[in-house]
Amino acid sequence: MAPAVAIAGAQWRSLLRQHLPGAGFLLEPFGRNSAPAVAAAALSADSDDLVLILPADHHIGDIPAFHEALSRAVEAATTGALVTFGLHPEYAATGYGYIELNSTADAELSAAPVSRFVEKPDEPTAKAFLDGGRHLWNAGIFLFKASSMIEALEIHAPDILNSVRNSLPTTGPLSIGEERLFQRKSFSEAPSISIDYAIMEKADNVMVVPVAMDWTDLGDFRALHAIRAPSGESLLSGPTAETGCRGNLVYSTGPRVAVHDLEGIVVAASPSGVLVSRLDSAAGIRGAVEAASRTTAPNFNPDLTARARAFIRDAMLPCWGEYGWDEKNGGFVEALAGDLCPQTAKPRRGRVAPRQVFTFSTALNIGWDKDGIASRLVDQGLKFIDGPARSPEGGWSHVLAPDQTPLDTRRDLYDHAFVALGTSRAFDATGDDTAERLAVEAFEFIDTYLRDDGPGYTSPETADGKKLANPHMHLLEASLVWYEASGDPIARDRIDLLCGLFESHMFDNRTGALDEVFEQDWSIDRAGECAPIEPGHCYEWAWLLSEVQRLTGRDTASWARRLILFADRFGRDEQGFSFDGVSRTGDPVLPTKRLWPQLERFRARLRFPETAAPGEADRELERLFALYLIEGTPSWYDRLEPDYAPSGTLLPASMPYHFMTALGAL
C-alpha cells in the first residue's frame, strides 16, 4: 500500500506530524463533513488507484479479519463498485447508521448489493433490525477506485467536486510528507454533507462487504475505557488520583483531580472546564457540555453577570456605535469626552481602528448587532484599514491626522499586531474576504519586515533599538485568534516561537515577573532592570497562555499561575486594585491604577479561579462597579490616583477592546 494520507483540520498539523511521520496531509481550514474529504482523497490519487477511507476514531481489534474483508472489497472495487463495510451487529445500537441488505442470505456473501442506507434508528427499530438479520452497522469505511468516485461525484454532487478541486493547490498523488492546505474560500463553497448522503445513498454501483472484526467506534468515553482498560480497572491520566474506586476514566490536562469511593464514572478536566458523567451514559453528555459552554463562569454571581451584560450590551457598545465613528472625516475617533462628545480633532493612533474592529467583531460573535451597528462598523473599519490607515512606505501608519492624512508613517510592531488581531477577529466573526486578505497581509508584513535574528520581532523605526515584550504578547494574541479561525500552520509555528521567547527571555524565573524592555539580543541592561513590571500584562499573558494550552495542548499552566501569583502578591494595593507599575519587590513605582489592568485581573481570575479565595471574581467585579464604572451610562473612570480619586475625563477608544475581552462573553 502507498503511504498513508491524513485528512484533518489544519490546526492539528503538529500533532499529525508527531504521530504520522512521513504521511501526506490534506489540511482543511475548517470542518466540512465527510463528502468533501472523500472528494479530496479521490482527487489526490491516480485515476486507477484504489482509495481506502478509514475514520480516525475507530478501533479494529481483529486485524486479520479486516485484511480478509479488505481482500474481498478489492475484488469488487477493481470492477468499479463503491464498496462500504458492514459490521454484523452485536446489539440493538441506536448510535450507528445501518445498511440494509436485500435478504438474510446476502449477509453471508463475499460482497453484497446494498438495498438502502438507514439513519440512526430508535430503540424498537434497532431491535427489529437485530432480529431480522438483514441489517449491518455502517462502519463508515469505504474502498473505491479514484475514477469511480470522481465519476459518481460528477453525477450526484458536482458542486462538491468542483469546490474541492478549486480549493486544492494541486491534484494527483501526494509525495511522502507533502502537505496540501485547502484554499478557504473555494472550500467554504462545498456543501457540508456526508458521503453517505451525497453519493452512497444515490449511486447504483454500491456494494457492502459484511465483516466481524472486533470493531469499536471510539465516539464516547465508555468505548475508550473499554479499549484502554479491558479488564475493567480504572484508567487515569494527568494529575489525577483515586482511592476506593474501580472502573473509572479520569483524565486531566489542567487541574488536579481526586476521586474517592466511586465506580464507573468519567471525569475529563482541562483548563477551561470539567466534565463528569457515568460511563454508561456518557454518550449523551453533549447537551450538558453545550449548556456549560454558554456560561463563562458557572459559579459567577448571576446578578453581577446581568449588570456586566447591561453595561456592555445596553450602554458601552451602543455608545461607541453611535459616537465612535467620525462621520465627517471617516475613521474611528481617538476618544470621547466625559459627556460622550467625540474628540474628532485629536490625532488617531494606528492601533485604534483595528482595536475597534476587534471590539465590534467580538460583538458579532456574542450575538450583538443592534440595528446592524456592529456589522456596519466592522465593514467601515476594514475599509479604513485597507485604505487611509496604510503607510505610503508599506504596512500601516503609526499616527493619522483627523482628516486621514498620515502624521507619522513609521511602522510599529504593536500597531501591526493589532491590525492582525482586528482583521483576524473580523474574519472569525464574518468570514469576510477583505478581513482574510488583510489578516494574511498583516502577518506577512510582520514576519517579513519586523522579524529579526534576535530571535523574535522588533520595531526598528519606533522602539529606539529596544525589544519590547508587549507587542510580542499582542502578536501572540493575534496568532491565536487567526489559528483558531483559519487553522493556518504558519500561525501555529509563530505561536510556538512566541511561547518559547516568553519562557526563555521574557519570564523572570527568579521572581515570577514579566520583564518588559530588552536589548535586541534579549539581554537586559540597567534601564531594562529598572523598567516597571506591569501587573496588568502579567494577568494578560496568563490568560493568553491558557489559550495556547487550549488550542495547541502545550502545557502553560504553571507559567500562567506564577504570573498571577506575582501580580497578586506584589502588584496590588491593600484594597486589591492593581497598580500600573511595580518593581520586582512590589514597590509601586507607578501607583496610579488604570481600569484596564483591573479588567485583565478579572479575566485571568475567571480562567484561573483556583488562584484566589472562592468568590474573589465576584468581589473584583463589585469593586469595578463601585469605583470605575458609572452604571446606567456608558462612561467610566479610566484611572484612579493613589487616593482613589478619579483622574482624566476622556474615554479612550482603546478601552472597548479591554471591556470586550473581560466582560463581553458574560
pLDDT of res. 285: 80
Q: Contact, 178 vs 25, CB < 8 A? A: yes
CB neighbour burial string for 238-262, b if at least 16 within 10 angstroms, e if fewer: eebebeebebbbbbbbbbebebeeb
CB neighbour burial string for 11-20, b if at least 16 within 10 angstroms, e if fewer: bbbbebbeeb
Is 294's pLDDT higher than 60?
A: no
The reply to whether 235 and 312 lie within a common domain is no
pLDDT of res. 296: 53
Residue whose C-alpha cell reads 475581552 in the numeric block: 661
Work out the pLDDT band at 528, boundaries 50, 70, 90: low
The H-or-E segment that residue 317 falls in is helix 317-323
List the grid coordinates of 288.
450538558
By DSSP bridging, strand 98-100 and strand 116-118 are antiparallel
Q: Contact, 36 vs 160, CB < 8 A? A: yes
pLDDT single digits (tens) 251-292: 998 789 999 999 999 999 986 789 999 998 876 787 788 777
CA 133, chain centre distance (Å): 45
Number of folded domains that form the chain? 3
The reply to whether 159 and 283 lie within a common domain is no
Per-residue CA distances from 527 to 524, 531, 592 (Å):
8, 6, 21
Residue whose C-alpha cell reads 488562584 in the numeric block: 611
The reply to whether 229 and 172 lie within a common domain is no
Q: What is the CB neighbour count within 10 angstroms for residue 87? A: 23
Work out the pLDDT band at 399, boundaries 50, 70, 90: very high
pLDDT single digits (tens) 299-338: 678 899 999 999 999 999 999 999 999 999 999 999 999 8
DSSP alpha helix (H) spans, 366-461: 373-386, 413-430, 433-449
Q: Which residues pair with 660 in a beta bridge?
A: none
CATH number of the domain at 485, please.
1.50.10.10
pLDDT of res. 29: 80
Q: Contact, 244 vs 259, CB < 8 A? A: no
Q: Contact, 598 vs 624, CB < 8 A? A: yes
Cα separation of 391 and 304, whole Å?
Answer: 44
Q: Which of 217, 250, 283 is the last residue of a domain?
A: 217
Work out the pLDDT band at 115, boundaries 50, 70, 90: very high
Q: Contact, 386 vs 397, CB < 8 A? A: no
Q: What pTM does this model have? A: 0.71
List the grid coordinates of 63.
486485524
Cα separation of 653 and 647, whole Å?
Answer: 17
The reply to whether 588 and 490 lie within a common domain is yes
Is 157's pLDDT higher than 80?
A: yes
Give Rg (Cα) of the chain.
28
Phi then psi dihedrals of residue 534, to 5 deg: -100, 110
Of 4-18, 94-108, 440-454, the least confident: 4-18
Please compute the mean of the pLDDT values over residues 237-260 and round it to a whole number.
94
List the grid coordinates of 428.
472569525
What is the crossing angle of helices 535-552 and 469-486, to 10°? 30
The reply to whether 543 and 652 lie within a common domain is yes
Three-state SS at 514 = strand
The reply to whether 532 and 438 lie within a common domain is yes
The reply to whether 111 and 158 lie within a common domain is yes
The reply to whether 427 and 515 lie within a common domain is yes
Please compute the mean of the pLDDT values over residues 91-117 and round it to a whole number.
91
Percentage with pLDDT > 70 across the chain: 98
CA dihedral 274, 313, 362, 375 (to 10 degrees): 140
pLDDT of res. 627: 95
Residue whose C-alpha cell reads 462545498 in the numeric block: 190
User: CB under 8 Å to 161, separation ≥6 — which residues?
Assistant: 39, 43, 150, 153, 154
Cα separation of 88 and 82, whole Å?
Answer: 20
pLDDT of res. 84: 97
pLDDT of res. 281: 82
Q: Contact, 346 vs 402, CB < 8 A? A: yes
The reply to whether 159 and 307 lie within a common domain is no
Is 295's pLDDT higher than 70?
A: no
Cα separation of 332 and 324, whole Å?
Answer: 6
The reply to whether 256 and 210 lie within a common domain is no
Q: Which of 212-216, 585-589, 599-603, 631-635 has the highest mean pLDDT?
A: 599-603
pLDDT single digits (tens) 24-33: 999 988 778 9
CATH number of the domain at 125, please.
3.90.550.10
Number of H helices, E strands in the chain: 24, 32
Is 422's pLDDT higher than 90?
A: yes
The reply to whether 318 and 461 lie within a common domain is yes
Reference 544, options 527, 520, 560; nearest CA is 560
Cα separation of 591 and 75, whole Å?
Answer: 79
The reply to whether 11 and 126 lie within a common domain is yes
Q: Which of 268, 293, 318 is the last residue of a domain?
A: 293
Q: Which of 233, 268, 293 is the last residue of a domain?
A: 293
Percentage with pLDDT > 90 across the chain: 77
pLDDT single digits (tens) 424-469: 999 999 888 899 999 999 999 999 999 998 899 999 999 988 999 9
Cα separation of 224 and 235, whole Å?
Answer: 10
List the grid coordinates of 319.
455608545
Cα separation of 629 and 620, whole Å?
Answer: 12
Please compute the mean of the pLDDT values over residues 619-626 and round it to a whole number.
94
Reference 48, options 147, 195, 139; nearest CA is 147
Q: Contact, 216 vs 223, CB < 8 A? A: yes
Q: Which domain holds residue 22?
A: 5-217
List the grid coordinates of 623.
469593586
